[in-house]
A and B are shown apart, each in its own frame.
Chain A
């Protein structure tokens, strides 16, 4: 499989990265190079193999349903690009 310039535009939109207009040709070539290289995995017979999502040998732990954190509003807002009166300030997201 390979990607076209239009595909790269679409992927960039999905990834919420502004269209890399000046690098579109180079990026398309680079992505195709990488995709072609990873396709060597097609040589491997993976019939009946369970996908492996983690190397952690244990099952996900559960903890008691206690409140262990909170009351740190100022800490949370400390690195906000914009905040006012204890709130994050963001561009309008609901019409």
Chain B
């Protein structure tokens, strides 16, 4: 029998086309693998074997008639932030416990229209607020990777940690995530996967539970750069239901993978060299630059002087938008309700019981920075700094075609290891990824090597708005040169 877990998305699509196996066989194997891994990894909030087999059967029928779509028969895991019609969707929060959408998110609709098979929803940090996937109401998600010789459970990163953990464990052939400050790229780096945050507006936010609307970017996780280009291409579309959806055409990004980087100018920003960053990340970064140089690109030093202000600006803007977006959870029309003495008391008790600690913390910060007397000092100031960060990128992209940085300042860390620390220590995980959310430019993480303890590390490629093609070309060149083939040793 085929070892499905080792196959990429491109592999399974070829296997289905060659009739090596059927979509039903693939779906059944995927569901079994998910069920077997769930007690150890806790990556899923829902596993729906019946729906998977139904969709796979329909896929086999389409393929038999020669009507297969570009993803036909491939199981794709869906982050619990995306509404899937008739499947419990909770954003890993108690306040949405049991919520069953009667509509489909545009991104998942695009996947099903291309023939993809639904089999599971994946766990996440509650409302996508976190970098470790420890705040889900269903408990922490475990990374399938472990340090050599250790049995300590590590975080998969967050907030899209369930998607990352599942795909890294060889369950599924692609997964959706959302990235508001790094929530696709950081977990991708922690689990040896490719993670893509396209340009703001490429993938519709319609039907995606809102966190910070001006920063939220749906995107895919994949095992290879080519797979990631294909998934991004399918997920992206113009959607009249999202007023910020980009109206232009979606290019063929798969064709961009494998193109030469010869003649491209790659910028290395000096501000991404942080104090206390492990030497091996610095070494990997230099190696990445060397790989691109050897492939014919020109590597130049650049400066993004506003980099250090991106994270503080983010922790004003994102909570402000979240406090406004999450005001809708009042226990009246959907979600959990805790009855109080009167209307206000009901609101207050509902929200105190329904939101977890980190979500409450961010709502309070957001409420404060938007409140009378503080709006100008915090929120307006952060929006002005945001423009200066965008201008940094605009200046850089007048000189270079792409920017190369590390994805994260460390490899995956232990479950609970930051529990006693200041919340800011957790926030610092996103220090290299958050700038691209602030500016809305495309960015992706590519697995590039292992650290001394055998844990994966990623490099990040950033390009100018709407130039995902160059991003996929550069990421493809890094993938080729890195030859990253490592997989987590199976213990689950």
Taking Cβ atoms with an 8 Å cutoff, the residues of A that contact B are: 1, 3, 7-8, 11-18, 20, 23, 27, 30-31, 33-35, 37-44, 46, 49-58, 60-61, 63, 72, 75-76, 78-82, 88, 90-93
By a CB distance below 8 angstroms, the chain B residues around A14 are 367, 371
By a CB distance below 8 angstroms, the chain A residues around B438 are 55
Of the candidates A3, A34, A44, A82, which one forms a contact with B315 in the assembled complex, judged by CB atoms under 8 Å apart?
A34
> In the docked arrangement, what's the CA distance between A65 and B246, Å?
21
In angstroms, how far is the closest chain B Cβ from the Cβ of A61? 6
Q: Is the CB of B387 within 8 A of A51?
A: yes
Does B130 count as interface, using CB distance less than 8 angstroms? no
In angstroms, how far is the closest chain A Cβ from the Cβ of B476? 25
In angstroms, how far is the closest chain A Cβ from the Cβ of B361? 6
Stretch among B187-195, B289-297, B327-335, B396-404 lining the A interface? B327-335
Would A15 and B351 be within 8 Å (CB), given that A30-B423, A79-B335 are in contact? Answer: yes
Q: Is the CB of B360 within 8 A of A61?
A: no
> In the docked arrangement, what's the CA distance between A39 and B312, Å?
8
Q: Is the CB of B364 within 8 A of A41?
A: no
Residue of A nearest to B346 (CB): A91
Q: Is the CB of B378 within 8 A of A38?
A: yes
Would A80 and B333 be within 8 Å (CB), given that A14-B371, A17-B355 are in contact? Answer: yes
Residue of B nearest to A89 (CB): B332
Q: Is the CB of B335 within 8 A of A81?
A: yes
Q: Is the CB of A91 within 8 A of B378?
A: no
Q: Is the CB of B335 within 8 A of A18?
A: no
Of the candidates B100, B333, B383, which one forms a contact with A52 in the assembled complex, judged by CB atoms under 8 Å apart?
B383
For this complex, 10 residue pairs linking A to B, each with C-beta atoms less than 8 Å apart, are: A1-B377, A38-B382, A40-B309, A41-B312, A41-B313, A49-B384, A52-B384, A57-B246, A88-B333, A91-B343
Does B263 count as interface, using CB distance less than 8 angstroms? no
Q: Is the CB of A81 within 8 A of B360?
A: no
Would A34 and B243 be within 8 Å (CB), given that A17-B352, A55-B390 are in contact? Answer: no
Q: Is the CB of A16 within 8 A of B381?
A: no
By a CB distance below 8 angstroms, the chain B residues around A56 are 200-201, 244, 246, 440
Does B142 count as interface, using CB distance less than 8 angstroms? no
In angstroms, how far is the closest chain A Cβ from the Cβ of B104? 12
By a CB distance below 8 angstroms, the chain A residues around B331 are 81
> In the docked arrangement, what's the CA distance between A12 and B351, Å?
10
In angstroms, how far is the closest chain A Cβ from the Cβ of B367? 4
Of the candidates B244, B313, B342, B390, which one forms a contact with A91 in the assembled complex, judged by CB atoms under 8 Å apart?
B342
Q: Is the CB of A63 within 8 A of B240?
A: yes
Q: Is the CB of A44 within 8 A of B323?
A: no
Contact with A along B363-382 (1 / 0, CB 8 A): 11101100100100110111
> In the docked arrangement, what's the CA distance between A49 and B420, Å?
39
By a CB distance below 8 angstroms, the chain B residues around A41 are 309, 312-313, 316, 381-382, 385
Q: Is the CB of B344 within 8 A of A16?
A: yes
Q: Is the CB of A17 within 8 A of B102?
A: no
Contact with A along B324-364 (1 / 0, CB 8 A): 00010011111111011011111111011001010011011
By a CB distance below 8 angstroms, the chain B residues around A61 are 240, 243, 247
Chain B at the A interface: mostly helix, strand, loop or mixed? helix
By a CB distance below 8 angstroms, the chain B residues around A38 are 312-313, 315-316, 378, 382
Can you list the 7 inter-chain pairs with the closest CB atoms, starting with the nearest?
A: A55-B440, A51-B383, A79-B334, A18-B352, A46-B384, A81-B337, A52-B387
Contact with A along B97-112 (1 / 0, CB 8 A): 0111011000000000
Does B386 count as interface, using CB distance less than 8 angstroms? yes
Of the candidates B312, B323, B351, B439, which one forms a contact with A40 in the assembled complex, judged by CB atoms under 8 Å apart?
B312
> In the docked arrangement, what's the CA distance between A2 and B266, Å?
43
Q: Is the CB of A90 within 8 A of B247?
A: no
> In the docked arrangement, what's the CA distance between A76 and B101, Å?
9
Q: Is the CB of B247 within 8 A of A58?
A: yes
Q: Is the CB of B240 within 8 A of A78?
A: no
By a CB distance below 8 angstroms, the chain B residues around A11 are 364, 367-368, 371
Q: Is the CB of A34 within 8 A of B365?
A: yes
> In the docked arrangement, what's the CA distance between A82 and B343, Å?
14
In angstroms, how far is the closest chain A Cβ from the Cβ of B156? 25
Does B249 count as interface, using CB distance less than 8 angstroms? no
Q: Is the CB of A44 within 8 A of B367?
A: no
Does B422 count as interface, using CB distance less than 8 angstroms? yes
In angstroms, how far is the closest chain A Cβ from the Cβ of B402? 18
Q: Is the CB of A79 within 8 A of B333?
A: yes
Residue of B nearest to A14 (CB): B367
Q: Is the CB of B364 within 8 A of A12?
A: yes
Does B114 count as interface, using CB distance less than 8 angstroms? no
